[in-house]
Amino acid sequence: MKINRFTLYHLRMPLRRPFETSFGRISNRDCILIEAECENLIGWGECVADRDPGYSYETSATAWHILSDFLVPALLGQELADAADLQHRMGFVRGHPMAKAGLEMAWWDLYGKQNESSLSKLLGGVRPAVEVGVSIGLQSSPAALVETVAGYLVQGYQRVKIKIKPGRDTGDAQAVRTAFPDLRLQVDANSAYTLENATSLLPLDELDLLLIEQPLAEDDLWDHHRLQAIFRTPLCLDESILSARHARQALEMGACRVINIKAGRVGGLSQAVAIHDACQARGVPVWCGGMLETGVGRAANLALASLPGFSLPGDISATNRYYAEDITNQRFSLNPDSTIDVPDAPGLGVTVNRQALERYTLERLELG
């Protein structure tokens, strides 16, 4: 496959409700949409880097720079045989996994359309629908949080993740657990703790949580190992796992018992599958994380989550949990059993609404 033109779109889309984590609060979500043209076909990819470097060092601005100045020029007009070949050609850029992952997603969309196969089928998916949950940001008080959770339960979500930070952790989780004794519940700290102050989280161990996500710094596998040793509840790593090698080392070290897989964070869908495979071989459960994606990235997440080792519900909520208007013509909705259908049309299985795309585009760049 030869791609003769890439177009980058810097999008800013209003969220239906602000989303607050331990690293900040956003009302709009930025991303870069990538359009790749090959003969008469168009493929789409989503680079999930946000405006601010709170979750990772990548931002929409760094990704724009890395994409337009380095990665796209290295791919334009080249024969791209498979995802490994694509990654090999991007290997001269150190880091910047989200920029690379956006390009790989566009490549898969084109490849699926060329071969009339859905992404789910190409990646080895086995499920027509995947179990999902909802990730709820920090609310103004524990009572407000309980009310927000109740609203999502009415909509049919059967697994809830709440964000925590120092001072807003055990009280929030306890309030939700008291209100909903049987709820599948988990928490995510987004690296807000140190080994020293994470002992304040010990009461969480009594709340029958599915897991505790990323309590400590992203570059701190060893202290996650120390922390896991004093918790019964499985620790799950998100920010710390940037490659299959990190995943193996974290598991060998006992730094976690579950891994959150996000294709953007690990540099692409092919690496996400590699991590899935490594975890499956060890019997370690994985689940698909989310980055508030548009319909493009959401379609890719659903395909990824259809692989057999994704045994825990993903952070892949319905479109209306995020956006009043999306840039895809398809909107994803929640089935009564807390699942979302996996697209089965070729490639990502979604089409882009050009008018909507234009409405949310801050900047557009055509290359090639």
| Residue 56 binds to ligand OSB (criterion: CB under 6 A) | no
The answer to whether residues 304 and 272 touch, using CB atoms and an 8 Å cutoff, is yes
Token digits for 58? Answer: 């990548």
- Indicate the angle between helix axes 295-305 and 269-282, nearest 10 degrees: 30
46 in contact with ligand OSB (CB under 6 A): no
Using CB under 6 A as the binding rule, whether residue 152 contacts ligand OSB is answered as no
301 binds, among ligand OSB, Mg ion, none (CB under 5 to 8 A by kind): none
Return the beta strands (E) in the chain as ranges.
Answer: 5-21, 24-38, 41-47, 129-131, 134-136, 159-163, 184-188, 212-213, 235-237, 258-261, 286-288, 339-341, 361-367
DSSP characters over 46-62? EE---SSTTSSS--HHH
Among 50, 169, 172, 238, which residue sits at the site for Mg ion (rule: CB under 5 A)? 238
- Residue 314 is a binding residue for ligand OSB (CB under 6 A): no
Query: 10 Å Cβ neighbour count for 14?
Result: 13
Catalogue the active-site residues: 163, 262
Q: Which one, 25 or 359, has the nearer CB to ligand OSB?
A: 25
Min CB(50)–ligand OSB separation in Å = 7
**Taking CB within 5 to 8 Å according to partner kind, which of ligand OSB, Mg ion, none is near residue 135?**
ligand OSB
CB of 193 to ligand OSB, least distance (A): 14
User: What is the C-alpha to C-alpha distance for residues 36 and 334, in angstroms, rounded to an integer?
Assistant: 30
Closest CA to 260 of 229, 291, 217: 291
Kindly state whether residue 190 participates in binding ligand OSB, applying the rule CB under 6 A: yes
Smaller CB distance to ligand OSB: residue 113 or 317? Answer: 317
| Number of CB atoms found within 10 A of residue 203's CB | 12
Minimum CB separation from Mg ion for residue 238, in Å? Answer: 4
Residue 188 interacts with ligand OSB (CB under 6 A): yes or no: yes
Nearer to Mg ion, 50 or 213 (CB): 213
- For residues 243 and 232, the answer to whether their CB atoms sit within 8 Å is no
- The alpha carbons of the chain give a radius of gyration, in whole angstroms, of 20
Residue 188 contacts Mg ion per CB under 5 A = yes
Among 59, 240, 317, 319, binds ligand OSB (CB under 6 A): 317
Q: Is 55 in the site for ligand OSB (CB under 6 A)?
A: yes
* 192 binding ligand OSB? (CB under 6 A): no
Residues engaged in binding Mg ion (CB under 5 A): 188, 213, 238
Q: Which residues bind ligand OSB (CB under 6 A)?
A: 55, 135, 188, 190, 238, 289-292, 315, 317
